Chains A and B, each alone.
Chain A
């Protein structure tokens, strides 16, 4: 079974703090993704990576950065957290080309920025 884990289920941070969200997958997948999920909206892609040390901007990269130093690990960084970044953050991984293959999701991190 593919397993995608995220470092925290719940996180509370203050405005201006630097926030790290970590994601690890154990299936040797090439592709990893970070999404945010907000009520009434579809999943929105923040960043994705098709290979180690590679990253591509998604639809809403502003205010975020990512790091992929190892194949199994993809980190999302909020350089200076703001209240509008309060959301559910989902990490996913997939094999195959880009976003064409089934994605396997982690359980999510619910981030609250005060």
Chain B
């Protein structure tokens, strides 16, 4: 079967750095998305990785290792507004999106 694993919940301190991991076992791979979802709101796009390596976008970076079936989202200089759920989703060999359950990130002052 196809599976996406993410930690259910993480806690971090304002101003710090946090890494949210995503591991996947899917039938093929055609890219990986990260979305952010604040409580009660719509998910919004953060990043897309299809090649190995690190993609940096301001305070957020996303890393992919296809050989390890692994990605992480790195958030630097955490702000209270970063409190949200972070969803990992993989495009499989049929170009169907497989979604993880999401990681709820709690930021403490």
Is the pair B101, A42 in contact by a Cβ cutoff of 8 Å? Answer: yes
Is the pair A4, B42 in contact by a Cβ cutoff of 8 Å? Answer: yes
Segment 66-98 of B: residues with Cβ below 8 Å from A: 87, 89, 91, 95-98
- The binding surface of chain A is classed by DSSP as loop
- Residues on B with C-beta less than 8 A from A4 are 42
| In the complex, number of A-B residue pairs with CB atoms less than 8 Å apart | 48
- Residues on B with C-beta less than 8 A from A105 are 42-44
Closest to A40 in B: B101
Segment 18-73 of B: residues with Cβ below 8 Å from A: 30-31, 33, 40-45, 48
How many interface residues does chain B have, given as a range?
A: 20 to 34
Is the pair A42, B95 in contact by a Cβ cutoff of 8 Å? Answer: no
Is the pair A43, B95 in contact by a Cβ cutoff of 8 Å? Answer: no
Q: Does A45 contact B (CB under 8 A)?
A: yes
We find that the number of chain A residues with CB closer than 8 angstroms to chain B is 19
Segment 22-75 of A: residues with Cβ below 8 Å from B: 40-45
- Residues on A with C-beta less than 8 A from B31 are 100
CB distance from B19 to the nearest CB of A (A): 20
Is the pair B33, A102 in contact by a Cβ cutoff of 8 Å? Answer: yes
Q: Does A112 contact B (CB under 8 A)?
A: no
In the assembled complex, 19 residue pairs joining A and B whose CB atoms fall closer than 8 Å, in A order, are A4-B42, A42-B100, A43-B43, A43-B99, A45-B96, A45-B97, A90-B42, A97-B95, A98-B95, A99-B95, A99-B96, A100-B31, A100-B91, A100-B95, A103-B43, A103-B45, A107-B41, A107-B42, A108-B41
Rank and list the top 7 A-B pairs by shortest CB-CB distance, nearest first.
Answer: A42-B99, A105-B42, A43-B99, A102-B45, A99-B97, A105-B43, A42-B101
A99-B97, A105-B43 given; 15 more Cβ-contact pairs under 8 Å: A42-B89, A42-B101, A43-B87, A43-B99, A44-B99, A45-B96, A99-B91, A99-B95, A102-B45, A104-B45, A106-B42, A107-B40, A107-B41, A108-B41, A108-B42
- Residues on A close to B: CB < 8 A? 4, 40-45, 90, 97-100, 102-108
